[in-house]
Amino acid sequence: MEKLQFFECNKCSKQTFPKKFFCSNCGNIDFDLIDAPEGKIKEISVIRHMLGNKDWQPRKIANIQTDTGVSLTVGIEDNIQIGDILNIYSKDGAPFAKK
């Protein structure tokens, strides 16, 4: 998996994910692609049921927050706990986090 790309405003340096077209801080339209920094797991949920899918196997998602102020939803493996500091990766553009 590749590192997930964040979007960093090249004027005020505010980071964001997913992509925006104007910076919510300064209104600039130019962003640099940067590797997502590490993030801390804040909340975890186990998705136990998926509408329309009878063979669904439970999987975990989590809210992860970076020191740069970005919160995003990631897929995680079973052994992850709240408070873990993880690397954020991309799988076909979708964010996942691992130790």
With tokens 């090249």, the residue in question is 10
* Positions that interact with other proteins (CB under 8 A): 18, 24, 42-53, 56, 59, 61-63, 69, 71-75, 91-96
Which residue's CB is nearer to other proteins, number 47 or number 85?
Answer: 47
Q: 21: which 2 tokens?
A: 């077209």
Q: Using alpha carbons, select from 76, 80, 91, 65 the residue that is nearest to residue 5.
A: 91
Which residue's CB is nearer to other proteins, number 9 or number 72?
Answer: 72
Which residue's CB is nearer to other proteins, number 59 or number 98?
Answer: 59
Q: What angle do CA 94, 96, 99 make, to 5 degrees?
A: 160
The distance of closest approach from Cβ of residue 63 to other proteins in the complex, given in angstroms and rounded to an integer, is: 5
The distance of closest approach from Cβ of residue 10 to other proteins in the complex, given in angstroms and rounded to an integer, is: 19
Cβ neighbourhood burial of 4 (10 Å; 0-12, 13-18, 19+): buried
The distance of closest approach from Cβ of residue 55 to other proteins in the complex, given in angstroms and rounded to an integer, is: 12
Which residue's CB is nearer to other proteins, number 49 or number 81?
Answer: 49
Whether the bond between 18 and the residue before it is cis, its omega within 30 degrees of 0, is yes
